[in-house]
Structure formats: structure tokens, C-alpha cells
Structure 1
Amino acid sequence: MDDASAALVADARGVVTGWSEGARRLTGFSADEAVGRPVRDLLAEEPGSGEMAEEPDSGEIPHGGPPLPQGTVTVRHRDGHALTLRIEVSPLYGPGDETAGYVITAAPAGARETSLGGLVFEQSSLPISVFDTDHRFVRLNAAACEAMGGSEETLLGRTFLDAAGPSEGTRSIDRNMREVVETGRSMRDETYSQVGAGPDEQTWDVEMWPLRDTTGRVVGAALAGLDSTEQHRARLRLALIDEATTSLGTTLDVVRTAEELVALLVPDFADFAAVDLLDWVLDAEAPPLRGDPDVVVRRAAHASAGPRAPATAVPLGRTDVYPPYSPPARALRAGRAVLARTGEKDFDRWMAERGAEALRACGARPTGIHSELAVPLRARGITLGVAVAVRNVRPDGFVADDAPLAEEIASRAAVCVDNARRFARERATALTLQHSLLPRVLPGQAALEIAHRYLPSASAAGIGGDWFDVIPLSGTRVALVVGDVVGHGIPSTATMGRLCTAVRTLADVDLPPEELLTHLDDLVAHLAADEREDVPELGATCLYAVYDPVSRRLAVAGAGHPPPALLMPDGTCRLVPLNPGPPLGVGGLPFEATELELPEGCVVAFYTDGLVEGRGRDVDHSTGELCRALKAPAESLDALCDVVLKAVLPEEPGDDVALLLARTRALGAGQVAVRDVSPDPGEVPAVRQWAVDLLSDWELEDVAFVTELVVSELVTNAIRYGEPPLRLRLIRDRTLICEVSDCSPTSPHLRRAHAFDEGGRGLLLVAQLTQRWGSRQADGGKTIWAEQALPRR
């Protein structure tokens, strides 16, 4: 014990029984004068009373508590002056764990530690505090005093909550410290509140543990804090970059990407943010401007943290010219982030000018802006614009570490903006190509919900020969075709046009998928022979499918084309197992069709190889990505097309991409009626009456006369010239369809009957009274059909 320390012993009643030499030097009382007196006689005032303590009549203190409180007390020296001492009281236990007395140590409150343990406590860079069981400060080191914003003399005896001030963070520490004292378990906490007199919010990692005496009883608690503000800010920066990865570029739209950027920056990073793009970026067909001394930008997006944040001086969509001394202009000129603060001549001038513009624009002057960060948007070596972030609501300004963070986020946003700009340019080209070569308007039909995308290649090789088509067939069936001609340029585009026409012609004949591909294969072989020198390069792939909404069956045949992907209503997705056929033009090998029965609501994805194939890409991995993308939630089938392209399509596709999505529908039992017909002419009147009654149930009496005549003629012809069994089917959809099937392979032909012919006028009447009619071959027979328009409701 050093010279400035004192020790004394008191019995259980608080009467002095032992007195050290240090106590004599510290208080001036000798052992003869102190021993036998109550310890509280030495106090100049009772703790917390502020008045001189009166001596108790008995000269003793009641049992049950220590004679002096832990912490700081004021003691009366023998010569009369007051001493401020730091007191530590340790109980002495006798038999039965009863308190037999106390050992009291005291030292001047401002005395320096000389022991190694005390030096470690005092000189630790970590704030360390000691509390009694009532959460009052007993001791603090210099770092703790600095963190709390006060001296040890002003803090001793106060509770942590009183000294630090009530806040969410301090209340959390106080609750945890209470739990430490009550349970005797150490705890760890993290607080983000302001502690002490600092203006900025600080982050502290706080460790709290109980203090025990020699018997293991909790007599206090200790707290150590680590200022982790910089680590916390670093985590926030990483979180912001991670959020930028997921929130930027959700759509291939330039303005939407700019809006996503400002939404990311405000309010977590800035009080106000804006994105200004060079004027040519928003014009998909205009090249970048070069050599223009005036930097013209157009406001694409801006956002404000609230009413106290700055007001914009530039409305959305309007152009603006930055002066050379402004931070945005400097950032565009330097190609890196520029940080400006209040007190800089150019920044103050810029704020004054911009404030006047804002006052004229919206009647409000942006006051209190103390820092601005301007970052250029650069992607693939091209400057697209500038992002501006300012702070005025929060007191802390931008620091040097914020510049690399802003540049990282801006680079990601710039790539997204550039992708959107490229997509807009490619889409404009694709629209022109679609208007000239692809179906401009997909035909109306009820069997499938259709959505499609066509992206032309941006490579120097030119436009390729990818195509798709949707062809309505008889009986509410629909044919879907996707194809790809080998090569690029005008020859491939011309071949694509020929194949499109050929497929429509063959589909109108109502050939099964495998037979249609056989005829198409012959056509490509003939075209290759006509080209002579280009024979090795001429070729094509094709996928042809027919869907019947009545039977819900899908028949698919492929010629060297990737198989379609099938998304079931339960969310499972797989590729349709096709019997692989050779590419068109190879010849010599047959084509086989695959038939599937699908539940209503399936999504079938037809696509060309540009979506899943490419240099350095694994086809199995790409098709797996396609299946995963099809399972992603989307508001509509059209939106699902964008999801698939974004997930599967490479950043710079090297080939054309055609994507056709079809969601299956089914005709209900109330829309289809079937009747077996006996091959007896006497059955015709009953069949006509059945049809008339059915139309009455369907509320289609307006077309009953024509339908009765069509049914009569088709059934009569089937009885006369066909082979049993015979079947009549009526389908109510967008049109009324009448079908008569028999087992004869011979198809009827429309002819004009002569004046003296007894027959030959039935099909002519059917053709005149209906919109269209025809026949289709099937396994073991044929079907004659006729469609008529329904009255408008």
C-alpha cells in the first residue's frame, strides 16, 4: 500500500477496531483517537445529504449494512478540513458466514495508481468503469471519463443512466447491467446512440461482467467499451454495396435504373441525391457527342429524404448545364469522385447559384448543405452521366472513405444504365425487324396465352435467321413454331422468310408435326441445292408443336432444335424429352413426335439456341438457369419473358434470341359436345334436333338455322361416303365449330354442280354459309370441319 492509502478495521457494529499508519497520515487521527469510535464519526457529511452528519446517540450503526458506502465520500481531517476519498469496503466473515467486521481501504480520489494492476486500469485505451450494485460509478479510468464527457469527480456516485443520458442505447446497457448484477452472468451489448459530448453518433461494443468478493458474492459490476464506430460504418458500406448488387438493374430501363440508384442512396447515404445523364444516353439511336465544350445533362431521377432536405432546382426530364467549377462538372472532367465541403470557394459559389435557382423553381432555398459528393457514371470506358449526393440534415458530412464507396455503387449503376441503353437500342432494331419479317400481330385464339421476345444480335456479323410463329388450326388447336437458320446476313434472312411461309402453308394443310418437318426438310434441301456454292453453310433447325385445348394434348417434333421447357402448375420445371431429329436439310432420317397430356395452366417455353448457347457457356447449366428463371414469380407471362432473358441471356449475346412462352388453357365440358352417329340416313333428323337443342342450351338460337343445315350436310356426306364409326362434335369458342369424323381416308373436294346434277351442292352451301371449312387427316380416318361466326353480345 502506498503512502497515500489508508486501511482500517471495523467490527460488525461499525466501530473502529484497527487503525493503520496510513490512516493516521491521511486523516491526522492517531490510533488512540480513532479506535473505539464509530467509523461514521470520520465523515464530514452523510453521503447524499449535503449536510453535516449528526453522531448517533449510541455511537454505533444498525446491523445489516456496511459502515460506509462504496465509492467516494468526504472525510473530516483532524485539523478540520475536508478530504475526498475513494472508499472500498470488504466484509469479514465469522462462523456461520455471519459478518464479523469490515476491512476499509481509502485513498484520495485523485491519487495516481502505483500498482501494475492500477496502472493497467488507469492507462487502458479502452473505457473501463466500475459500478456498485446500484449501478453507481465507483471508479472510472481516463478513457471512460473522456467517453462519458466528464471528470471522475463529477461522475462518481452517479448512475450510468443519469451520467450518459436517457437513450435507447443507454437504456439497453442499463438493463443488461442490472441483469449482470442479478444473475452474475457476463453480457455483451452493442449501442449506436450518442455517448458523451461528441456530436456524431458512435457505435460501442460493450462488455459487462460481475465483480465478486472472496466468498463469490456479487458486490458490483464492471463495464468496458470498444469504440467500433469505424467498423460499424464499414459494415454499413458493405451492406450498401450488397444492396446495390440486388436492387440495381432490375429492369432494362434507363430511367428506372436511375430511380433505383437514388432510392439506394436516400436516406441511408445522403439527404438528397440526383442522377443526371448525358443527353444522348436517353436517345437510343443517337451516338455519343464528342468535342462539345458544354456538358449538357438531363435529369433522370432525384429523391429527397424529407421536408428538411434540399429541394431540386432541375425538374425531372429537363436539361441542365453545369458550370466548370461545380462538383458535377469537375467529376465528369476528372472521371472520378469529387468531394466538396462548406468553406471551399468554388463550393460556396456553387451553392449560392444553385440555391437561387431552387428559389426561382419552387420557392424554397436549400439551406444548410455542408457537403456534396459527385461521382461520374462510367461503364465500358464511356461516361454516361453523373450522380450527385448532398447532406444537410445529418450533421456529419461526407468523408474521404465515402468516395470509394460512391464510386463502387456508381460503377454498378453505370453498368446497369449502359445495359439498359444497349437494350433500348437493340430493341429498336428488333422492332424494325419484327415489322418486316416476323408476325406483326399474333392471331387471336383461346387455346394459349402467348408472350414473346425477339432480340437481334448486336455482333458485327449482322442479323441472323431466328423466327417464331403462332398459327391457329382447326378445332381450336394452335400450332407453335420456333426456328433458326444457320448464318447471318441477308441470305439467312431470306431463307428465314421462305421457311416462315412454308410452315404456314404446311400448317394450313393440318399435317402432324413429324410430317410437316419432313416436308420442310425437303424444302431446305432444295434451297441448298439451288444455292450451289453455299450448300455447306445452308441449314436450319426447327421446333413444331400443336396444342389441342379440348384434349389438353401437346404434340412436339424437333429438327436439331433445343427441346422446350415445361413449367407445371405445381412449380416443377423440366425439359420436354424429345426424340432428337436431324437439322433441316440433312435428309435421310425420320422425325418423331412426342405427345404429352398437360394440365391447364402449364407454361411451355420455346426458344432458339442463342438463349442457352454461346462461347464459353455450358448448355446444361444454361438450361438449368432457364428452368429456374421460369419458376420465378412474375406478374404476367410477358413479365416472365423479361425475367428469363435477364437470368439466362449473357450480357452480350453473340446470336439472335427468340423466346416464345405459351400458357395452356382448356375448354370446359360446357363448351364441347360429342355425339356418336349411326350410319343410317334416318338418324339425320335426330342429329339435327340434337344440335338445335344444344344451341338453345348455349343461348345461340341466332345461328341455329345455319348450324342445322351444316350438321345435316356433313353428317349426310359422312353416312353416304364415309366409313363408320361416325362422330359429330360441336365446339363453342370464339366461333362455333362443327366437326364430323369418320374412318375413311378420302377427303371431299369442293366443286360446282352442273344444272342437271342431283348432288354436289352440299359442301358448296357449307362453304357459302360459314367463315371457312376444311378437312384434316388423322390416324385411321379424317375430320370435316366448318366454322361460323357467333353473334356479338
Structure 2
Amino acid sequence: MGLVAEDIGPALAREQFLDGGSVEGAVRSPILSSWQRSRSLGLSPDGCELPFTQDLDLDGRLVHAATPVLDRLRAMFNGKNMNVALADERGAVLQRRFGEPSMVRHLAAIQSVPGFVFAEEFGGTNGIGLALAERRLINIYGAEHFAERSQSNACSAIPVRDLLSGRIEGVLCFGYPHTDADPALDLVIRKAAGVIERRLLEQSSVRERALLQAYLDARGLVPAGDAAGNGRLGELGASGLDWRDQMILKEKATELISSAQRAAVEVSLPGGRRVTLLSRPVTSASGVEGVVIEAVLPSGHERLAVSTETDAPSGLLTQQALTPTVPPLGHLPGLAPGREATTARPPRAPDGSGTPGVGERTADGATSGLVLVGEPGVGQYAVAARRRLELLSEASTRIGTTLDVSRTARELAEMAVPRLADYVTIDLPEAVLRGEEPTDPGKDLHRTVVHGIREDCPFYPAGERVDLQPVTPQLRCLTNGEAVLEPDLRSASGWIAQDPVRARRLLDHDLHSLITVPLLARGIVLGIASFYRARDPAPFGDDDRSLAQELATRAAICIDNARRYTREHTMVLALQHSLLPHGFPEQNAVEVAHRYMPAESGVGGDWFDVIPLSGTRVALVVGDVVGHGLHAAATMGRLRTAARNFAELDLPPDEVLTHLDNLVGRLDREECGEDPSNGNTGIIGATCLYAIYDPTSQQCTMARAGHPPPALVRPDGTVIFPELPAGPPLGLGGLPFETAEFHLPEGSQLVLYTDGLIEDRDRDFDTALEQLRRALASPNRPPEETCQAVVEAVVPDHPADDIALLVARTHTLDPQRIATWDLPADPALVSTIRGSVTRRLTEWGLDEVAFATELLLSELVTNAIRYGSDPIQVRLLYDRTLTCEVSDTSSTAPHLRHAATTDEGGRGLFLVAQLSQSWGTRYTADGKVIWAECALEVPGGKAGPAEVYFDNIDDIPAI
């Protein structure tokens, strides 16, 4: 025997419905209609996924009105399994309250987290979605829900309406276990929704509510048979207008109210739909004159033409369709002259729900609905408020576009003129401009910005110190830390009397109103912004002061950020400069000039150096650490120090880069730590170019690690970029570096630079190289002029990266100042070489150092004969110092040690160290070179160090 529909419960009815059976009479009509809509939308009971949105108005009218009510409901349901939710007109949950706080830990996210949208089109039959669809109080129990996950729950939901417009602003919903259903909850939720609606109404003015009542009373006088009186009055939401469409209509309606004119204006909405707004005058019982704005929506996309004829008795606009296919919508009779509208009770909608009707539907489907009601003055305030919000919104994107203090202050002035003020001046302490924290902002103010509608501003010029008199509004503003409003400057007698010259200059330029605001950020007063009005005869008001305060507050935060950045940038720049060379050691191999230009956005890790080496050679280094800021600058200092140390070892360029590569790899590992997942990426890497120039042979040996190649300018002005193996950047490890050797004629220029010079997002790489080539192509130009030409022609206007530039013009050591002797490994020839050296020193006029030089060479040559191997060569180089070099093909090197009193040898190297100002060993491909440099000035009247230890040169022991 089959089941009769009346005999089955909701669970069986739902199952039978999902199987395609008929459940007419077994399910309440709203529930069945919702099931049918859900199925037509293609929803699945076990797959109703709710969208999540972060586009929530958590500080709007509805939340403000509902928050105390929700808190009261939470106290009422304390300890019970009750979930109270507030959703907006889209069905997106704004807030939740729980009778038992521990429920949050056991509920799914869609039942506990705001932001999920419960519209019926997404979640099927549910409390919030059905309340929006049915537009009335609804109850859903257990299996009446469409989604499987909600079968054990019950809910009660009711729309919350705006009593002025009648539109649904949101939904109040109670959720509870099915077993806790109680009919008394209907009364509770109705009262709660009513309180929220009254709180929403209280946010409108009393005068606007009176105008609404007059409008409803007038509508109530429509004859029963009039076209306008048939059927229940509808709402704009029922016509398919979403909340965005309604916001557009409200904005236009606000402008119509402020204009206070009878009008019919067609508004185009997104999607091509057109709505006609009618502006109708109305008078309240107390005589307040206002304007009602109604929207007329034709059916489908049909265009509706509306006339604005005046109904003589009432003075109200008569709405009349001009197209023959749309019948007249009737007219609203107004109040006859001398007649007062009475308000015996709050307006009620025709269905008795307590909500006023706001729209009407004609026979052809066209709909009219109330959009706004208000006084023209209130509308003007609303327009002004919206413009203030637009200004603040624009200010949030236009103030603080850079981290420059002065530019940020300028942006504040540009935002305020002319929409708020005619002139703006901004005064900041010198300490703020330097990036420091001001100690007494009232005593060190400098005029930073002057901006106005005309250039001939009657103010202190920018850059001048500002002295504030005790009674000036600016000083009062600083003292109190609050904005000061002077509506009429002409009445500020105290200020005029104390500073009459400046006051007269301002008044002569028609400046009549002033707002001065402290630039306060994070508890620190950073300066003053003063807003003046001249062209607009209306004085500043409280709303203007609030707007100026808000603009100044936003700008002050940006100025403080810029100040802090300036301070940090200055500190990093100071560190960078302290780590770069302050001057180069004296040497004759090259003549150098250099430039360092930090990036606009921050200091990086570019560096350069000139390092004198043994044998009159010189090392030229340029490098670039990846990144910007303090970390890059500090790392640059570590690498520059390491490069100097490696250079002191007289290593060839490829070996120096190998040591630097290992160092960067170690620094990277130290920065990252043992755990690579800690988020610290370390130094990332660096690039470097290392070159050694020898003025005795005019040979230059170079190697680079991922760095841009150098430019070589020959003496005739020809520019080439030599083919130099690129090599990997420092820090990769495991890959060799290659060297290349070039002959540089005397007067050639070697140009080393970092990638910031030629890499720029606004130009092509090849274009930058060609610009560099043209800038360098000039013969016989001093390095300083070459640097200046490159800066002017190649450096970008706004460099995004640091730029280091090093120009070295080569010189050659005169061959007449070089002496070379080849010796066999015969100890008997030591005295012979001493004699040859003495004669050459006499030719050079260096008789004062001949004795010490003989001692040095005796020890070095004897050491090479005893411990080295053939061939042996002796070389003297006469430059700023006298360099003695002895080379052999052995790879063993001597070591300085303390000799015991019983030792026969071991004192020779100690003697070399005493006689020379520096000495060392340099390895070559064929062996080694032991060198020693002697100063060319010997103090007169004093015995040399050797004379203290030895009476006879022949008694000098070998090393």
C-alpha cells in the first residue's frame, strides 16, 4: 500500500522529492518552492559549496545598528546551543554570536566564520537564503534543508529592513538543534529584528522621518481604483537590482535632493539597464519641505519616458508614460494648501508587517520604488560628505608615493588645493628633513611647502626659517596638539596686533579663513599644515576641520615613514661611504678618478678599490653585492677587506676571485644557518672584476666573476670592450675563473663599472653600451674629465641601482729606471753583483741607500743560491721606492724566525726586515720572487740597522 502525501514526514518527503516523486501537501509551500528552485539551479544536496567573500562592510550602518542587539541575544541564550547570525542583503554573514562559546570549536567553518554567502543560489534551502527569497520570517526544520550537512539543524530567519526605503538591509538568523525548536523563538526574533530596524531608522534625521511619513500619508490618499493603488507595493530589490545598482541610484538620488528641483533623470546601470529617477517635492506636518526620489523601472529593457508636469493642487510631479505601450502609473496627490498631514501611528505596509510600502507594480510589469527622501540641505551635506570621502580615498593613493619627506608633504598640499583650500603651507623641523626625530618642533621650523591657486602666495618662501609668535594659530596648534579653526582671520585681533605686517599681507590677498593642523604620527609632532581659504567666500567649518585633520593624519604617517627611511638611508649611506676608499695610496702606475652614486631607492653593495702591489704593480677592483640596504653595505665592506687581504698575498686575479668565491659561499651558509627553511636567503651572491697592471711591462691581467666587462680607451680615443671570460658570480662555488692578458700602451684608460651604469628598465642594454662608448671616445683626456663625461651621458636620471665607476689612466716605468742581472748559482758572484748594484745606484743618485741595498741583495742572492735553483735573476726598480727583487725557479719561500745565540744562521731575513719598509714573496708560473722595498730617505747621522750588528759586510751570514 503506497504512502499518502499527508502521511509522510519531512525526511521521507525530501527523499521522495529527490527521487522525482510528488510531495504536494506533505511539505510546506515555501519549502517545496525552494527545493524546486534549488534543483533547477543544478545544486546537489551533498555538494552545496558556499562561496567565501572578504568584501564585507563590517563598519556599516547595519553592523552598528545590530551589534548591541546581537550582544543582548548572546546574553539571553547564554549556555544554550544557539547560533545567532547577522547577514547582509547578499546573504553574506557579517557577525556571529554563540550562546555556548565552546560551540565554535566543534562547528564547521561555514557555521562559525563570517564571510560565507548563504544565498539560496549557492546553499539551497536554508534560513538566510529563504528569508531573502520569501522576504519574510521563515522557519526551517531538519530535513527541510536542502543540503545534507544541515539535516540535524533548525533555524529561524527574518529580513531586516530600512524603514525609510523599505529595502532589505540584511537577515537575522537563529540556528539551533532540531530538537530545541520552540515556537516562542518567533516572537524573540521578530522583536530583535524590530529593534535593529528602529536603530537603523535612528541613524536618519528626525526631519527625514517626518518627510517620509508625509510621503506615505499622501500615498494613502490614492483612490482605491487608481492604477497606482492596485496590488501590494513592491521593492526595488524584487526588480533584479543588486546592491551595486541600488548604490548608484542612491548616489544620483542624493544629487537630485541637493538640487531641490523637479526632475526626471534617466540613469544607466551596469548591464545596459536604464532606470528613471523622479524627483517629487513633499512637505511634512511641521512644514519641513523636502524631496522624494522614486525609481521607475520598465519591464525588461524597455525604455520608459516620463514627463515632469505639475499637478496643480498638490505641487507634486505627475509621472506619465509617453510611450503608448506603457499605461500611466498614476500620480501622487499631495497636501492641499493649509492642510496638515497627521501621524497617528508608525506607517505600516499593506500586509501589516510594520514596514512601509515603498514601490508599486503596474499591469505591464513596470515597477516604481522609493529610493531616498530628504531635505535639499541634507542632500547637499550628503554630496559634500561623499566628496570628502572621495578626496580621502584619492589621498590614500596619492599621498606617500615616495619615501621622500619633502615630496610627501608636497603631495598633501596638492591634494588639498583646490578641493579643500586655496593655499596650503607645510612647515617641518630641520631634524625631520634629515630623518631625525624632532626634539622641539616649534623652535626649528622651516617652510617646506607653499602651494596655492596662484604663484604670488603671501607666505614665507620655501626653505626659509619660520618664527611663530606666541598667539598665532600655528603655535597654539603645536602646543595643544589639536587642529585649530579660525573661521574669520579678520577677527583674530590678538594675532593681528602681535604680527601686523604679516597679518596685513595675508588679508590683502583675501585670505579670510584658516585651519592649522599638527602633523602627528606615532605620538610625535612632525610639523604643521596650514590650510587657507581665499576664493571661496564661505568660511571653513567643523566638517572642513575634520577633513583637514584626516588628510594631515594620513600624510603624517607617510611623512614619518619617509623620515624613518631617510634616517636609515642616511645611516646606510654613511656606512657605505665609510667602507669605500677615502683616498688611494700614492703610486705611479695609474692615475685614477672615481664616482659612487647610490640608488634612489636605497644604498646597495657596490664598491671599488685601488691596491698597490709589489714590483710597482697595482690592482684595480670593482664589485657589486646583490641587494640593497644595511646588509648589502656591510657585506660589501667584508668583501672589500677580504679582497685587500688576498691582494696582499700577491695572488693572480683568478686565485683572488676563487678565494672571494669561497668566502661568499661561507657567508651565505652562515646567513642561512643549518636550516634552509628558516626563510633567510643569505647574501645570494656578488660580482667582481679584478685587474693587475704592471707598469714595467705595460701588461694588464684581468679576471671577472659575473661582472660587466671593462672598457678600454686607447691613447688615440678608440674604445673597445675586450673579450674577457665572464666567469660565474661569487658564491656559486666549484667553477674555475679564467684570466686574460692585454697590452696597454701608456696613456690608455681602463674603465671599470658596476651594472647600475648600463642596466636600466627604460633603455636597451646595447643602447647603454653605445652611450658609454661615445662618452669614452676622446683622446688624451684626464680620468676626472672622463668620469664626468660618463656621468652626464650614461647615468640614468633615476638610477634604480648603485653605480660605481673607476677610471685608471696607465703610466709606464722608465726603462732607464729598471736594472736586471742574470746570475748563475755561484756564491763567488755575490760580491760581483754588489759592485754592479752600487754603480747603478750611483748613476741614479741613490748613494745614501747603497749600503743598505747591498746588504739586502747579499742576503737575498745568497739565499737564492743556497736554497733556490737556476736561473737566478736580480732586478732593481727605481720608482717612489727602490725595489730589490731576486727570482729563481724554486717554489720554497723563506720564513722569518728568532735565531738562538748558538745558531750559525737564521738572522739574515731578520736583517732584511729591518733594512726594508716591506718585503715578501710573490709566486710566478716559473718559481718565485723575493722582494724588498727600501725607502729613499735615510735619516742623517745615524747608523743603519746593519751597522749595529756587523762590522764587516763579508761576515754577514746567509739567511
Structure with the larger strand share: 1
Which bin holds the TM-score, normalised by the shorter protein?
A: 0.3 to 0.5
Q: Give the TM-score taking structure 2 as reference length.
A: 0.39
